[in-house]
Chains A and B, each alone.
Chain A
């Protein structure tokens, strides 16, 4: 078991090294130079450009840039081109903002997708199964921003609540109860919109997994023994059907950045996705690069943790490993 973990960890480290190279080269090999951001400005002399290039290590060869970049990133002295703030602190601050959105969204997704998927699998080809199938595909196929605009109009017209931003501006001193209420209203819509597609996709997986498991021999045996249906499905079948979802937990993390770019832009939510979008618009290379890198690290961490959980949950893995 220890050797399995060790090997897994070393593999992840190697992957991380290649990720660092790819995320670095994607940005650095792009045409143009960050110092040419405003070439028509007459006040921008050659000496200024040289000074800027030196300040951000742009005059050094690529491998030195790579080395300095990651050295600075890990010591938190890597500065953003835009506002000279340390990149890692910036990302951390935005990460804390994204976190509630991510947690509520993931919570909604997992709490709704599993009952829906299991129910649909147990009543295969019923009206419920067919309608959940249709609506899953409906929500997967909707462009998220289309739905976002329609639901903003709906929420504001029918409930008359504020939905844009993290909290209502200028109402910080109105009492704790109001503030909590306000935060919750702001959280509802973006997290729900983020969860919709997730629920649709995950419930399809759960359904497929459950269908596969209830075809197995041991389920027939359990039924033949005369166990009540509930016990067969929820005790014997469900446990095995849920196993693969432990590994999926690591793969939901990219959603923290990738999936939230559009939603966070619409709702002016100051999270990681929004930070990435602003950085792309401003060609703020250190931030873009670090975001890609941090996201990949989070995924690796997630898959590592889920590998460990998987091993704890499924005894077959450690037997195979001997």
Chain B
């Protein structure tokens, strides 16, 4: 009898089963099926390359391309124009003596500023989303796991946060604090966690009743370990999606703040403040406006499209493979 069961259980005949596909591969196939998400991913790859090369090229004491170099003889030059070699000292000359994307009102090279801006935008996006994801996961997990009054308190806090007009609240806090790029990241992060906390809580409410959690509790694991080692990985899918889209909206928020004059303070360049500076010269030097605006549009679009593809690829309901 027991041999029979063993035979049934350990039957190694999977000829009528579909071939095994690993989760990563299935995820990849799902993503490739969605052309918008696929192109989003490619654009994201390009953006990361730009940001990394931008960091290498524009940072350090003696950078290859200096985004802060002011050249008053070469203000508002159009893209691809040659530098005024006779009047510039060797240190002031741009790379290859050409302004590939023109210069701004102080003669700073727009290409090198845009490269530095890519790095800054990436930093703002990732750190602020990192803060909100961390807060969202911790609070959502506590609310979903403990339930009862912990849940009510945290959900009330979420309700309260959702009542404030978020952009105006961010603007208020940023305007009252001293200008610094770190304040912007922290404030955006601190105001955008409620959505993530809600997702994590919803996942936790259903995970809470599953057998593996009961098993972990029966093994006497600490609550901290059950929550953050066993349950969080199972609740991470919606968080990843909203984090991706969160990076996009953080970049947009930063550009909006820059536009109103409360963004990344000079001399650091961000796409937002290149765009905000460019608006004064929209007729004389449209490239300032176009370059930074397009850069923001393409990057944010890439994050959004990839986030949407991620949502489809991680959604078990849509799995057909």
Within 8 A of B (CB), among A1-54: 14-15, 18-19, 22-23, 26-27, 30-32
Residues 153-186 of chain B, each 1 if its beta carbon lies under 8 Å from chain A, else 0: 0001001101111111101110111100000000
Asked if A138 CB lies within 8 Å of chain B CBs, one says yes
For residue A288, CB closer than 8 A to chain B, the reply is: yes
Q: Is A86 in contact with chain B by the CB < 8 A criterion?
A: no
B241 at the A/B interface (Cβ < 8 Å)?
A: no
Decide if B165 touches A280 in the complex (CB within 8 Å).
Answer: no
* A153 surroundings in chain B (CB, below 8 A): 282
B163 and A145 contacting across the interface, CB-CB below 8 Å:
no
Contact present for A291 and B282 (CB under 8 Å) = no
On whether the beta carbons of B275 and A146 are closer than 8 Å, the reply is: yes
Min distance, Cβ A277 to any Cβ of chain B, angstroms: 7
Whether A251 contacts B162 by the Cβ 8 Å rule is yes
B316: min CB distance to chain A, Å: 14
Nearest-CB residue, chain A, relative to B167? A258
Which interface class (under 10, 10 to 19, 20 to 34, 35 or more) fits A?
35 or more
When distances are taken between beta carbons in the complex, the residues of chain B under 8 Å from A256 are: 165
Task: State whether A137 and B301 are in contact (beta carbons under 8 Å apart), knowing that A18-B156, A258-B167, A262-B256 are contacts in the complex.
Answer: yes
**B:264-321 near A, CB below 8 Å:** 272, 275, 279, 282, 289, 293, 296-297, 300-301, 304-305, 308
Write out, one digit per residue, whether chain B residues 30-42 have a CB within 8 A of any chain A CB (1) or not (0). 0000001000000
Within 8 A of B (CB), among A256-282: 256-259, 261-262, 265, 273, 276-277, 280-281
A residues 59-83 in Cβ contact with B at 8 Å = none
Q: Which residue of the partner chain B has the closest CB to A152?
A: B282
- Do A257 and B165 touch across chains, with their CB atoms under 8 A apart? yes
* Chain A CB within 10 A, most for which of B156, B172, B296: B172
Q: Across the interface, which residues of B come within 8 angstroms of A276, CB to CB? A: 168, 171-172
CB pair A143 B164 closer than 8 Å: no
A254 within 8 A of B: yes
**Complex Cα–Cα for A30 and B175 (A):** 10
The reply to whether the CB of A299 lies closer than 8 angstroms to some CB of chain B is yes
Instruction: Tell me whether B248 and A280 are in contact (CB under 8 A).
Output: no
- With beta carbons under 8 angstroms apart, the residue of B36, B168, B176 that contacts A257 is B168
Inter-subunit contact B260/A265 (CB<8 Å) = yes
**In the complex, how many angstroms separate the beta carbon of A293 from the nearest chain B beta carbon?**
9
In the assembled complex, the Cα of A291 lies from the Cα of B272 at a distance in Å of 26
Complex-state Cα separation, A31 to B301, whole angstroms: 37
B297–A27 contact, CB under 8 A?
no
Which residues of B are at the interface with A, using a C-beta cutoff of 8 A? 36, 156, 159-160, 162-169, 171-173, 175-178, 248, 252, 255-256, 259-260, 272, 275, 279, 282, 289, 293, 296-297, 300-301, 304-305, 308
Per CB-CB distance, the 6 closest pairs between chain A and chain B, nearest first, are: A258-B165, A30-B176, A254-B165, A141-B300, A141-B301, A146-B293
- Report which A residues bind B (CB closer than 8 A): 14-15, 18-19, 22-23, 26-27, 30-32, 130, 133-134, 137-138, 140-146, 149, 153, 251, 254-259, 261-262, 265, 273, 276-277, 280-281, 283, 288, 291-292, 295-296, 299-300
A sample of 13 more A-B contacts (CB under 8 A), given A251-B162, A292-B172, is A18-B156, A19-B160, A137-B36, A137-B305, A141-B252, A141-B297, A143-B275, A145-B259, A146-B275, A149-B279, A254-B164, A265-B260, A299-B163
